[in-house]
Chain A
Amino acid sequence: MARQLLFDFDGEPSAFDLTRHGREKLHGRKRKVVVDDEGRPCQRALLTEDGATLIPPGGAAELYLDAAFDVVEKGDRQAVDAAGRALEPVPSTLGVAQRLVGPVSAQRLLDHVTPVVYQLDPASLGPRLQAGLAEGGVYESRFSYVDGWDAQALFLVQNDTGVYALVGRPTGFDWVRRATPPPAEDEADLFEDDLDFGML
């Protein structure tokens, strides 16, 4: 049985089944397919800079190596912060009751970027949370789908069509003042890999 989202709202338990949501699942998608002269689909591959080696799809491996070129398995790693301090592991929150707070303001949700969305199916819904969601309340908890090194914020909302969980992290946007310097030039390009043209 799939693990559920479990919440503890001031002693009142609730449980939800979750399904990943997204534009492609809702409306489908448009994708670019390259074909050869006979109309057969082709695949992307990598050609090394010297032109000597062609690496087919799936032909490269991402792994961690130490100075002796020995492989360190994923489960044998420890995350550290910029100062070298060990980070505490964060276990998956699925199947484990998480404290739910709220209602919080809509601005609180607006202060997060939430690229991950789940459609929720209430398996058991506490009456106070049910009433709060129906009144338009936004509720906040924490979320980590798998074991990792950091949890994200999770917001519960309900509209006429159902209950949804929005998962993300704070935007970190500061107040802008007249003397505020411009953002750093090397900031990542938000739309660099934005080539799915799924909205069109």
Chain B
Amino acid sequence: MPRFLSLYDNRRRDARVEVSGPAQPPRRSFVAAADRRPIRSARLIKVTEGHDLAALQRQWPDPEALARALVAGDPELDIEKVGQRVGTTNQVWVSADGKILYAAHALRVTDGPLGNEISREEFVDVEATVQEDVALPWTGRLLTAEEVVRRFALVQKLQLRHINGLTFDFLFEIARTLQESGKLLRVQAAKGGALIFQRNGTGYYGFLEGRVEGEGFRLVLHLSNFELKPLPRGEA
């Protein structure tokens, strides 16, 4: 952040504007309840490769033998490393036998609502559909606020803001247009379909809401990734 996006207004003019997310919750920290001494969170090494359960089970497949080994020699403890701070790390992929992969082969697995695997195929990146230099169209499809809040879960929001005097006027006019309509504008990607803000990111339905107050405006893009519908039987 900040990020930018482009959009059209109802007069087919487009402009690049800035977006920002909701305010963060008030900052808080923790102290020890007993005496208010300061404490801080830490991430420490608990187990290292070769000492985890899977590795120990490979070494001692017989549970009885593993139990005896645990009692006799503490093979689960890497004395040199356990308790150290994790520090900066890189993410790697490891195979079932604990070896680092140097060439990862990715699949896309589709699970059904109840967690059952439906299909698996080669993984193909899905590109973002929201880009700074490709304007989102004015769809003209308007929905009332009452319909939107009762039909969609609005799980994320972005506020649109100007980057100069011209874009202030541009956004103010959009906000005024929407306020006067009393409705929210359905927003979709330039080529139609879901709004995807980054490669392989979640797809969203978008609803643009505008309000004006004096010389100020508030233009918010409400984002939803599911409708309020009953869960499949077995899940609810």
Query: Does A64 reach chain B (CB closer than 8 Å)?
Result: yes
Contact partners of B113 in chain A: CB under 8 A: 24-28
Name the residue among A59, A81, A195 with the largest chain B CB count within 10 angstroms. Answer: A59
Name the residue among A25, A72, A110 with the largest chain B CB count within 10 angstroms. Answer: A110
> In the complex the two chains form, is B45's CB within 8 Å of A78's CB?
no
Contact partners of B106 in chain A: CB under 8 A: 32-35
Contact partners of B235 in chain A: CB under 8 A: 19, 25
Chain A nearest CB, measured from B109 CB (Å): 5
> In the complex the two chains form, is A36's CB within 8 Å of B101's CB?
yes
Contact partners of A178 in chain B: CB under 8 A: 162, 165, 168, 215
Interface size class of B (residues with CB under 8 A): 35 or more
Given A30-B110, A190-B21, A191-B197, CB of A171 within 8 Å of CB of B161? no
Query: Does A96 reach chain B (CB closer than 8 Å)?
Result: no
Chain B nearest CB, measured from A114 CB (Å): 6
**Stretch touching chain B among A7-15, A124-132, A179-187:** A179-187
Query: Does B47 reach chain A (CB closer than 8 Å)?
Result: yes
> In the complex the two chains form, is A173's CB within 8 Å of B111's CB?
no
Contact partners of A157 in chain B: CB under 8 A: 149-150, 228
> In the complex the two chains form, is A180's CB within 8 Å of B161's CB?
yes
Q: How far is the CA of A72 from the CA of B88 in the complex (A)?
A: 23
Given A32-B107, A42-B93, A78-B30, CB of A199 within 8 Å of CB of B230? no
Query: Does A123 reach chain B (CB closer than 8 Å)?
Result: no
Cβ contacts A to B, 26 pairs, < 8 Å: A25-B232, A28-B118, A29-B110, A31-B111, A32-B106, A37-B105, A47-B91, A47-B100, A56-B98, A58-B52, A64-B30, A105-B145, A110-B145, A121-B236, A164-B153, A169-B25, A175-B218, A176-B168, A177-B215, A178-B168, A182-B161, A187-B20, A188-B24, A194-B201, A198-B203, A199-B196
What is the interface of chain A, defined by CB distance below 8 A to chain B? 19, 21-37, 40-49, 53-56, 58-67, 72, 76-82, 87, 105-107, 109-110, 113-115, 117, 119, 121, 136, 138, 149-150, 155, 157-159, 161-162, 164, 166, 169-178, 180, 182-183, 185-191, 194-200
With contacts A56-B94, A177-B216 known, what are 12 further pairs, Cβ within 8 A? A31-B111, A64-B30, A65-B40, A76-B32, A79-B28, A81-B26, A106-B146, A172-B23, A187-B1, A187-B21, A194-B198, A200-B194
